[in-house]
Amino acid sequence: MCAWPTAVGLGLDAVLGDPRRAHPVAAFGTVAARAERLGYKDSRLAGAAYAVALTGAAAGMGALVGRRPWAAAVATWAVVGGTTLRREAHLMHQLLDRGDLAGARERLPHLCGRDPSYLEVPGLARATVESVAENTSDAVVAPLFWGAVAGVPGLLGYRAVNTLDAMVGHRSDHYVRFGWAAARLDDLANWVPARLTAGLTVLLAPVVQGSPRRAWHAWRRDGRKHPSPNAGPVEAAFAGALGRTLGGELRYGSRVEHRALLGDGPEPAASDIPRAARLSAAVSLAAGALAVAARR
């Protein structure tokens, strides 16, 4: 994959956001759900076969179409989701800014899976900032990294891994064994991109009037406190750059988690959401420039 399809794909994402119809990720999710119904067994071996087969199929499809530049551009557009992420964040800010708590609670599932019914404005703002941070890595930097490393097979293979983790990588009784391989593959695929995202966040902290030194300190001090080996560095770096504290109580239905605090300062307010989106845009732009340069 040469440089210009990456640039074109990023341009399409910047102008259009995610494809609104026939999104390839949604189509892959449908296939994965059917494969799960056919092949589910409460075992790690079955889950590993499921994850490897579907990821291999996605990467293989990328190899078939990847030699066509237009296909590489479309794949980049379909896989990178930075513009839609920021649009959702700005919509959450608008709802909170005008006091529409019910609307913000209804909208939050577009960004993350936590239960919004108990959240007030500070909790909704924190959930949005944390989602923007984590998804800057998962939805922008990581696919661009794997596209730079392995072309279209890397783009599609990464998105398959990330989608399977979202579908079956839960720590629930149903998926604790079947989803183990998908979760571990996702951890492996995101290890380098997450640290690249955190590093870019440190360098670009001044974009939101933040301190690179504070962002670096928060990353190094707090990144390991998060239960995810990859979300931790990114969220901690964002917390340090924004001068806010992330973490605390989270609810996913009946499951409650108490996570360590990341960063220093007050908890996020609604006014911090546009700052997080601006930092995400800067990190995404830098990652896109690096990806284009790597394919030249």
Domain ranges of the chain: 3-294
pLDDT score at 137: 98
- Ranges of residues in the chain with a pLDDT under 50 are none
Predicted pLDDT of residue 233: 98
pLDDT the model gives residue 258: 84
Q: What pLDDT, on a 0 to 100 scale, did the predictor assign at position 250?
A: 81
pLDDT for 124 equals 96
Q: What is the pLDDT of residue 207?
A: 98
What per-residue confidence (pLDDT) applies to 209?
97
Q: What is the C-alpha separation between 234 and 104, in angstroms, rounded?
A: 24
